[in-house]
Structure 1
Amino acid sequence: MTSPLRRRSLLKFAGAGALATVLTGCGSGSNGGVGNAGTNVVPWPTYVPFAGPKPDAPGDESGVQPLYLDYPRNLVRSVPEAPGDGSDVTAMVITYGAPPKALEGNRFWQAVNKALNVNLKVVVVPDAEYGQKMTTLMASGDDLPDIIMFSNLQLPRSHEFIQSRCADLSDFVGGDAVKDYPGLANIPQYAWQGMGRIGGRIYGVPLERPKPGNSLYVNRTVLQQAGVPEEWGTEDFVGALTRLSGDRRWGIGGSKSVFGSFGSIAYHAGSLGAPNAWELRDGQFNTTLATPQFEEALGVMRRLAEKGAYHPDSLTLSATDVKTFYYNASVLSLTDGFGAVAEALSGINRRFELDLARPYGPNATPWQSAGIFGYVTFKKASADRIKLLLRVSNYLSAPFGTSEYELVNYGVEGAHFTKDSGGIKTTDLFKVENNVNLPIKYLGAAPAVLHLPGFPEAAKAVHEWEKAVLPRSIPDPEAGLRSATRTSKGAELTRTVGDAIGAIVFGRKPVSAWKDAVAQWRQAGGDKVAEELAKEHAAAK
């Protein structure tokens, strides 16, 4: 699992100041910065969709995913030759699971290495440590791993680092060039746009995610037993989660990470019609924080807390803790990314029926995701080496319905899974050898389809939810745009918002204090971000 990379690159935390020193004098793009305004932007990769198996129900342009109730019987091979040359490929990646078993005893890892024809050496960093480790790596002068995964964390000067020390992929994937890598060409354009360009150039490969954003997961069994309908208004929502709280059970569970960001309020703000982060009007960016809908959403959360619907430790619980409480029905709802549906079904283990809450407002504008979880970059190298790394990412991004997808997502048949008339059945070995513990799914990812092995009814319910919610959902107009102020002050701005939300919801400050928090956010750089985004939007078409 470990390699010399950990000792050489993950040094004592050096901070953003050291990073600035490292980047001084480095190349900074044709416009002297990471922005796209004033540059000749590279065209987005041409989208060439994979003609895969016919779904049970189709997707659509609003973001509804194609539904597959059964696993495809006849897989195709999408990568005719192993992409590698037998060399070592080092990677640094985030993990939300346990550390992987060592390569010597890990059949999954061995099978992936064989299929790729590389010796994949992965440094996995727990999510709670990833921001610090990434800042350390960026600030060091050491050799970089071949592949570096950037999550959606706001890391100071990350774009400057990428521009100065990572490979420019524009000539390899821009426009029709991407057709040399069919798995990458199959990534929808919204994911590339969500990643964005740097200085008009393409520096990464996006890890696509569906369009639904942070969602409210609910315990449908308890809600149904209490007569709570799927469609509800604001008072229905507040009344139901309040009425069902008590006797060491709470209507809503929160976590430190969710309350430290927009995550805690996204469902509520979208339910009440607030713009998704920004409202883009006449070329100008206006913050959602200053809208009456956003403040109303904050008031709804405050009412829920006052009525005892929130778990009392919501500001300090870890995401893992609150998920455990949801799985054992101690809390009846929690906010999580849409991509966690399969994980939640496994954690619930059929103790109750999982559902996603419909928005509760009459003029709802559910918030879409950025279309990506993050992206991968490659260290600067020869053209041949970059092509090899792109072929590796292409293999790991192979679409649903291919033998490559099956290996990357389920492992080796007979060892990690079996097949019967019901489709894929994972084994006990899969619980410890998988692409969560060995997080290769963060080095390349297939565009997601809606297929939940063993849970066809849940898959149909989620598809119905998508059809009901996504047509009225809205994107964040900032997605993929560059702002120097966001890069340098994004963490501070997010913390200002998150701290204020937590203080107001749990009664340490009145709702009226929100206007002061917005003013502080504006002064700290929020208004400057809006100005920079307006310029970027005009350039990044």
Structure 2
Amino acid sequence: MTPNAASPSSGPAGPSRRSFLASTAVATAAVAGGMPLLAACGGSDSGSREGTTSGRAADKLLPAYVAGTLARPDLPSKNGSAAGYTGKVDLAALQTSVPHKLGTGAPFTIMSPFWGSPPKGDCAYYKALDAAAGTKVTWQNQDGNTYGQKLGAVLASSSIPDMVVVPGWELVGKIANAVTAKFMDLGPYLAGDKVKKYPNLAAIPSDAWRMGIFGGALRGIPMPSAAATFIVPYYRKDLFDKKGWSVPTSPDEFLSWAKDATSAKAKVYACGDMSWTAFNIFGVRSSGPLGWTIGSDGKLTYRIEQPEYLEALEWSRKLFDAGVVHPDDKARSGDAGQRFTAGQILVFNNDTSAWYGKTAEQAKANPDFRIEGMDIFGPDGGHPTLYASQPATIWSLIRKGASKTTVENALAAADFAAAPYGTKERMLVDYGVEGTHYTVKGGVPVKTDQGNSEVINAWVMLAAPAPYFAHPDYPDVARKQVEWQQRMGAFMKKTSTYGMNIVEPNRYANLSSQFEQLEIDYVRGNKKLSDVQAAISTWKSSGGEKLRDWYKQLLDKNGSGN
């Protein structure tokens, strides 16, 4: 059972963080471009939707936490990591987490991002899940790479599906305000002990539920995320071993190794674009609300004001200038993951799921292939400073005005999707039906071609249990994923806005939208350092200072998240 990860069959367009972040730019550009995204959602009362709810006020809104008692992990969570299961599950002894069907079979619709080719609506996988959960779902799957555009258009319309999956990277512009305007308060169904009707939802950690509070009400059913979730700098261990290379432990060592390893004549380059890893190496905070924090000097600053921000960009540019980055990465064409498996680049960035995805993908095609995660080092080769990820970044929400029957059936589906590891429900969500979607070989489930085409990123988007890794076919990968997060988590800090779901005022919606493209251009040598510095000055004068005051008031009122 492989939770919270794309099936390896979903290919390069699967939900890696690379495609996730790319979609953010699409949504931002759509808002900036004057599309009629959410004109109906602004309104004179939009101010009431801004800000956050935390502390005691948030505690009153949360579901009661009831820890699950089923399969215990071999590697418990530590330093903000996910948990890990490294042993085989006895498939004949799977437990049941939902003793009775909670759905009544009443029909409802779900819109969700989808990476790859969606299966037919009447496919065997969807039928099996509906039968088991007591639901009747009509899926409106949308291309995950352009989901922001579709989401904005749908939320601006008068016709919204009963349930909508909203990823955090799409909460840009007016979409964040639309969540409050268009989706219902689930408190009457889930707050306090009411959640006990849905045992798997009750076992979701409270920090994740807290992120589901929008506009002063519990609206989002969360997909929990480990705090120690960082982009991984992957390297080809098989090729490193063959060449006798040591893994770099500082920015200078990396650049020196990269020059030696690159052979343009042989069409082998050291790496792809390493900007995301550079931000982690130099201790740059992420974008959005997590980019703000109060330092030891008592000052509240945003990520682009950190001296480390320019240092990270400068190092990334050095790699491009040295000619060690693959030309296609410079041109932003093709897929870096495919170049990595082909041996055209030796290091690339991706999310933690690529560890398993690439291992499984290459098992037959290239038995010698070995992928490892390079530990993130600091700017001087010492320990890094890393910033915790939010405890939830994807939510499923139910439209305002939905009938009680619709709400209860949607919650039944979410509860089924949140089943923990080692249960029949989790097995069905992750693998489908035995004999149809998977077979068992050596006690390990292996997807069939039909399973690879149908059992991908649908039900898993509705909700999830506390984060974990488990790969019965490659248990060592699960161990490595957990242990990497635990090592990196030891150097993790929380920003002042950690654990807060903050909706910024609409007037600042596009304030930082230019920086992603500017960073891309600068590291490739298409912009000057003075252009970046000018953009930072413009950011301050065109609203950044006022936004700082707004955040200061928010933190004064709600307290710090760290």
TM range (shorter): 0.7 to 0.9
Deviation at 1:376, TM superposition (A): 0.8
Contact 1:355–1:462 (CA<8 Å) still a contact in 2?
no
1:365 aligns with 2:385: yes
Counterparts in 2 of 1:109-128, with a 5 A limit?
Answer: 109-128=126-145
Given that 1:272 and 1:296 are in contact with CA atoms closer than 8 Å, whether structure 2 keeps it comes out as yes
1:449 pairs, out of 468, 476, 481, with 468
The answer as to 2:423 corresponding to 1:408 is no
CA distance change for structure 1 residues 305 and 61 in 2, over 3 Å: closer, same or farther? closer
**Residues 58 and 65 in structure 1, CA contact (< 8 A), matched pair in contact too:** yes
Summarize the alignment of residues 167-178 of structure 1 with structure 2, pairs less than 5 Å apart. Answer: 167-178=184-195
In the alignment, is the contact (CA less than 8 A) between 2:234 and 2:349 conserved in 1?
yes
Range moving further from structure 2, 115-124 or 153-162: 153-162
SS in 2 for 1:392: helix
Gaps of 5+ in 2: 1-29
**Structure 1: distance between partners of 2:433 and 2:512:** 42
Aligned pairs for 1:132-531 (under 5 A) are 132-142=149-159, 144-152=160-168, 153-193=170-210, 195-211=211-227, 212-230=229-247, 232-246=249-263, 247-254=266-273, 265-276=275-286, 277-281=291-295, 285-314=300-329, 316-317=331-332, 321-349=335-363, 350-361=367-378, 362-380=382-400, 381-436=402-457, 439-479=458-498, 480-485=500-505, 489-490=508-509, 492-531=510-549
Structure 1 residues 430 and 134: CA distance shift in structure 2, 3 A: same
- CA distance in structure 2 between the partners assigned to 1:514 and 1:27 by the alignment: 36
Matched residues in 2 for 1:523 and 1:317: separation? 32
> Closer, same or farther in 2 for the Cα pair 1:89/1:384, shift >3 Å?
closer
The 1:68–1:518 alpha-carbon spacing in structure 2 relative to 1, beyond 3 Å, is same
Distance of 2:203 and 2:330 partners within structure 1: 40
Which one-letter code corresponds to 1:268 in the other structure?
Answer: A
What is the CA-CA distance between 1:470 and the residue it aligns to?
Answer: 1.1
How many correspondences in the alignment? 509
- Normalising by structure 2, we get a TM-score of 0.83
Give 1:430's aligned amino acid: G
Unaligned runs of 5+ in 1: 1-12, 255-263
| Deviates further, 39-48 or 306-315 | 39-48
TM-superposed deviation, 1:512: 4.5
Alpha-carbon distance between aligned partners in 2 of 1:502 and 1:61, rounded to the nearest angstrom: 32
- After superposition, give the CA deviation of every residue in 1:211-252 in whole Å (9 maximum; x if it has no partner): 312222222222233334446122122222332222212222
Using the TM superposition, give the Cα deviation of residue 315 of structure 1 relative to its aligned residue in structure 2, in angstroms. 5.3
Matched, 1:97 2:140: no
Structure-1 separation of matches of 2:285 and 2:247? 23
Deviation at 1:501, TM superposition (A): 1.3
| 1:540 to partner: Cα distance | 4.5
What's the offset of the Cα at 1:131? 1.0
The CA distance in 1 between the partners of 2:302 and 2:359, in whole Å, is 35
| Cα shift readout 1:287-336 (whole Å, capped 9, x = no counterpart) | 12222222211111011111112222325536x72222222222222222
C-alpha displacement of 1:17? 6.5
> Is this contact kept in 2: 1:284–1:534, CA < 8 A?
no
Give, in angstroms, the shift of residue 20 of structure 1. Answer: 4.8
The 1-side partners of 2:230 and 2:200 are apart by 24
- Work out the CA distance in 2 between the residues paired with 1:489 and 1:322: 33
CA contact (8 A) 2:84 2:479 kept: no
Structure 1 residues 266, 537: closer, same or farther in 2, change over 3 A? farther
- Structure 1 residues 56 and 148, CA gap change in structure 2 (3 angstroms): same
Equivalents in 2 of 1:40, 1:230: separation in Å?
48
- State the alpha-carbon separation in 2 of the partners of residues 461 and 86 from structure 1: 41
- Determine the C-alpha separation between the residues in 2 that align with 1:122 and 1:316: 36
SS of residue in 2 equivalent to 1:450: strand
Following superposition, the deviation at residue 405 of structure 1 comes to 0.4
Q: Report how far residue 111 of structure 1 moved.
A: 0.6
Residue pair 1:70, 1:451 contacting (<8 A) in 2 also? no
User: Quick check: 1:416–1:430 contact (8 Å CA) kept in 2?
Assistant: yes
State how far apart, in whole Å, the 2-side matches of 1:532 and 1:428 are.
53
Please, what TM-score do these two structures have when normalized by structure 1? 0.86
Distance 1:540 1:111 in 2: 45
Alpha-carbon distance in structure 2 between the residues aligned to 1:180 and 1:235: 56
Contact 1:496 / 1:521 at 8 angstroms: preserved in 2? no
CA contact 2:438–2:447 (8 Å) conserved in 1: yes
